[in-house]
Amino acid sequence: DTAVSQTPKYLVTQMGNDKSIKCEQNLGHDTMYWYKQDSKKFLKIMFSYNNKELIINETVPNRFSPKSPDKAHLNLHINSLELGDSAVYFCASSQDRVYYGYTFGSGTRLTVV
């Protein structure tokens, strides 16, 4: 039973398109995150939601919009995709924002052509 699941696993799309990545966790965690991992494996926080409320919004282009319909789901919508958006996007969740580790999904590899 997958704890944090992301769909799709792979996404290949053309520049200018709009796409969404879905994330669901069945751990009962209150906090969810989106991270972006670039080609050099560097992980950068994008967003964090706690109980459906946005608590962290790093310097991310406003083409990226997270949506949390309930605390078990955090989706990422990307408008007007650009070549530089190509990366692996990871969803994660945590029981507590400070004292617990994160549980990561398996990632969505986005390729913009």
| Contacting residues toward another protein, per CB under 8 A | 4, 33, 35, 40-45, 48, 55-56, 58, 90, 92, 97-107
What CA–CA distances, in Å, run from 109 to 13, 30, 33?
11, 25, 17
- Cβ proximity to another protein, 17 vs 100, nearer residue: 100
CB of 4 to another protein, least distance (A): 8
Cα angle vertex 18, ends 50, 21, to 5°? 40
Shortest reach from residue 58's CB to another protein, in Å? 8
Q: Least distance to another protein from the beta carbon of 1, Å?
A: 16
